[in-house]
Amino acid sequence: MPLLKVEKVTCGYGDMQVLTDVSIEVKRGEVVSIIGPNGAGKSTVMKAVFGLLHPWSGRIEFDGVDISRHEPYQIVETGMCYVPQVANVFTELTVDENLDMGAFVRSDDQVGDRKQQIFDLFPRLYERRRQKAGKMSGGERQMVAMGSALMLDPKLILLDEPSAGLAPKMVDHIFERIVHVNRSFNIAVMMVEQNAKQSLQMAHRGYVMASGENRVEGTGTELLNDPDVARLYLGG
């Protein structure tokens, strides 16, 4: 049974339809990358999965439970977390407090150990734990955002363009950390990326979206080698 099952979901904002019959699956411990051009509806899929939008039709199942009508705070409790692309840290809160908010739905006695694990994963955050997140660089903010999401000890983490706007060196670092998180904590990852090549290289499987539909799916290598995908979405 897949961990996450998006089944023929149609939805949008207000009365503007964005997604048409999108189906996506994520298995336990898997890294799934969704690529596609701007406006393909990649981020909308994330929002629908996370309960920020409710599907008009179709069904979303997580860990065997139908979550189509759940609110985000209920979805968090089931063990899924989401890192938005922008405004993904509390700028007025310190790093420490940001991490605390990540574990908001967990009881306090679980928080200490977990925080230590996050600091091990991102040592930079430990150095700066008393600093306000708003005063940090883009890469550091991305670490805070991922760290807060991981505080939950989730089964699945949704990443919306984790590399957007970062320096190339920082992109490599963040991707390396994502792989690390996936392997050593056995957390499934579903991510949306502009940086298609790099994200397909690290993904177990990938989906190509266009105009609100999923067009092609396959393993990361299959998609990388698919001539159509390469021509249309990987820039030759």
- Residue 235: name the closest of 60, 37, 56, 51 by CA: 37
Q: Could you give the CA distance from residue 137 to residue 28 in angstroms, rounded to a whole number?
A: 33
- 76 touches another protein (CB under 8 A): yes
- 148 touches another protein (CB under 8 A): yes
- Residue 199: name the closest of 67, 42, 45 by CA: 42
- 92 touches another protein (CB under 8 A): yes
- Residue 196: name the closest of 213, 177, 212, 216 by CA: 216
Q: Which is nearer to another protein, 90 or 126 (CB)?
A: 90
Q: Which is nearer to another protein, 99 or 166 (CB)?
A: 99
Using CB under 8 A, which residues numbered 183 to 222 contact another protein?
none
What type of residue sits at position 120?
D
Which among 84-92, 120-128, 178-186, 218-226 is the span making contact with another protein, rule CB under 8 A? 84-92
Find the distance separating the first CA and the last CA of the chain, reported in whole Å.
36
- 170 touches another protein (CB under 8 A): no
Q: Which residues contribute to the site for another protein (CB under 8 A)?
A: 50, 52, 71-73, 75-77, 81-82, 84, 87-93, 97, 100-102, 104-105, 108, 134, 148, 152
